[in-house]
Amino acid sequence: MYFNYEVPEEFKWFPESRYGLFIHWGPYALTGRGEQALFRDHMNQREYEKMACGWNPQNYDPREWAAFCREAGFKYACLTTRHHDGYCLWDCKVTDYTSMRQAPHRDFVREYVEAFREAGLKIGLYYSWCDWRIPAYYEGPGKDQEKWDEMQQYIWKQVEELCTGYGKIDYFFFDGVWPRNAEDLKSRSLVEKMRQWQPSIMINNRLGFSTDPAQLLEHGGGNEEGDFGTPEHNVNPEGRLWEACRVSYWRWWGYHSGERFQETERLLDTLCTCASEGGNLILNVGPDADGRIPEEFRRRALEIGGWLKKYGEAVYGNDGGSMTEALTYGFQTIKGNDLYLIFRFWDGKTKFVLPDLTSGVVSAELMGTGEKLKFEKKGDDLILYGLPEKTEEPLFPVIKIECSTRPDTNSWGRQRLWEGDPGRVADWAREQRGSGLWTSI
Ligand code: GLC
C-alpha cells in the first residue's frame, strides 16, 4: 500500500523525519511521580508552587541533549513549554511562574530552541491549554466572564510569545483541552493568528473541535482538525499526516523514579509499526529534575540510533508499507522502487519466500553487511536463496529488494487473511484439490 495523502511542501520534512523525541520536563520531575503529580496525588497547590519556584536544575545542557538526539536518529524534538501544572519554561511576560523569574533565572525554551536548531533538528513546542492552578479554565466562560477573558488572553499572549520570540518554530503540539472546546477557547482564530506569526508551522489536532466528549477527553478532540493526528499510547493510522506519541516507560511521560523502561526491541517495534503504517513516532523521555536524560533511555535510544544508521532508509521518508504478506516476520516499508523487509527475528532458514510480489526484481541485499542475495522469481513468488543461518544484527535484520518498478502485489496481497472476497479462497481450494472432505478425493 502507498500513502496517498497530499503533503503541502512546507510539511514535507515531517514524513521525511518519521521519528521525533518528545521531552516532558518541568518542576514536576522533582516529585519523581510523572508530569501529573500535582493532580493525581492531589498535592497542595501552594506547596507545589513553592516547590516549583525553588526548582533549579544544574545539569540542563540542551546542546548535550541535541547531540544525543542526533546520535539516536531523531530528526525533530518537542519540549513541554508549559504542562498542566502551568509552570512556564520560558521568559514569559504575563506571569512570574517561569524558569526566568524563579530559581533558575534561565529561559529554558530559548536554550533548547537554539541548541536543537543549531544541531539541525526541527523544533517542536508543546503547550497545555489547561492550567490546573486557574479556576476559570475549569469553570468556563459562563461563570465569571471577566476572569475567563483574563485567562483567555493569558493563553493567547503565551502562545504569541512562543510563536514570535524564538525564530522559526516547525511544529506546535497543543494538549489538555478538557473540559473546554474550540468555541470556548476560540482555537480557530488562535490557529489563524499562529499561521500569521509562523507561516509554515504545523499544528496538531488537539484543538477542541470534537463534539464527542470521549474524543475531547482522549485526544483533545477532532481528528479532522489540525495538520496532523496524534494517536496517544497507540498507533492509529489516519488517512493524513499523523504521529503516534508514545511513552518509553510503561505509563508516564514526566520523570518517574523506578519506572520500568520498555526494552529496545519493543520501542523499535513501535517505530517500525508507525513507519509501515504511514505515520511518525514521537517517542518520549522525561529528563530528571536536574536535567539529565536517564541512562536507561539513552542506552535504548542509542541502540535504535545504531540500527537507524544502518537501516534508516527503510524508515525515514518511506512512502508505503505492508505490500504483501510478511506480517508474521515483521514489517514491510517501501520507498520509490525499493521494498524493505524488516525482520523481528531471524529463523535461520537459508531460503525465504515472499509471496504475491507482481513487480520484477533487480536485486536483493541483506542490508548492514551489503551481502547480495541470490533470488528467483516464480510467478508472483520471490524466492531468496543463500540467507545466512545467523545474522550479525542484534535487533531487526533488514533485506532490501530493488524492484524494476514501484512494488506491486496481486489480489492476495491486497486482500489479506480475514478480508476481501472469500470466493478466492474457495476457487483456490477447488482448483488445486477439488471439494471433498476426504484426502483421497
Ligand atoms: C496526555 C497527558 C499528558 C501528556 C500528553 C502527551 O494528554 O495529559 O500528560 O503530556 O498526553 O501526549
Nearest residue (CA) to ligand 1, atom 2: 176
What pLDDT, on a 0 to 100 scale, did the predictor assign at position 209?
A: 82
Atom of ligand 1 nearest to the CA of 128: 10
Nearest CA to 109 among 171, 162, 170?
Answer: 162
Extended beta strands in 74-132, E state: 76-82, 122-128
pLDDT of the residue at 213: 61
The atom of ligand 1 lying closest to the CA of 232 is 12
- The atom number, within ligand 1, closest to the CA of 83 reads 10
| Contact assessment for residue 85 and residue 319, using Cβ atoms and an 8 Å cutoff | no
Our CA angle for 256, 259, 263, nearest 5°, is 130
Model confidence pLDDT, tens digit, residues 203-247? 999 998 876 666 555 554 455 689 999 999 888 888 899 999 999
CA of 246 to the centre of ligand 1 (A): 10
Round to whole Å and give the CA distance between 217 and 210: 10
| pLDDT value, residue 204 | 95
pLDDT value of residue 88? 99
What are the distances in angstroms from CA 151 to CA 145, 160, 191, 301, 347? 10, 14, 17, 39, 59
Q: What is the pLDDT of residue 224?
A: 67
Residue 365: per-residue pLDDT: 98
Q: So where are the chain's domains?
A: 9-314, 326-414
- Give me the CATH code for the 9-314 domain, please: 3.20.20.80
Would you say the CB of residue 176 lies under 6 angstroms from ligand 1?
yes
- pLDDT for 221 equals 47
232 Cβ below 6 A of ligand 1: yes
- The pLDDT score that the predictor gives to residue 1 is 87
Q: Which residue, among 268, 220, 231, 228, has the nearest Cα to 248 in the 3D structure?
A: 268
Q: State which ligand 1 atom lies nearest to the alpha carbon of 230.
A: 12
Is there a contact between 37 and 299 (Cβ–Cβ < 8 Å)? no
Q: Which atom of ligand 1 is nearest to the CA of 126?
A: 10
Q: How far is the CA of 182 from the centre of ligand 1 (A)?
A: 18
In short, whether 38's Cβ falls inside 6 Å of ligand 1 is no
Residue 175 CA, ligand 1 centroid: distance in Å: 7
Ligand 1 mean position, distance from CA 89 (Å): 17
HSE toward the beta carbon, residue 69, CA cutoff 13 A: 33
pLDDT of amino acid 218 = 56
Buried b (16+ CB within 10 A) or exposed e, 224-255: ebbbbbbbeeeeebbebbbbbbbbbbeebbbb
The position carrying cell 543549531 is 118
Altogether, the residues listed in the chain come to a count of 441
Alpha-carbon torsion angle 220, 223, 224, 230, nearest 10: 90
Nearest-CA residue for ligand 1 atom 8 is: 176
pTM: 0.96
Q: Using 50 as the pLDDT threshold, list the residues of the chain that sit under it.
A: 220-221
Find where cell 523487509 sits. Answer: 341
Tell me, in angstroms, the distance from the centre of ligand 1 to residue 254's CA: 9
Are 9-314 and 326-414 the same fold in CATH?
no
Please check whether residue 354 is in contact with residue 323, taking contact to mean a CB–CB distance below 8 angstroms.
no
Candidates 1.10.10.10, 2.60.40.1180, 2.130.10.10, 2.40.10.10; CATH matching 326-414: 2.60.40.1180
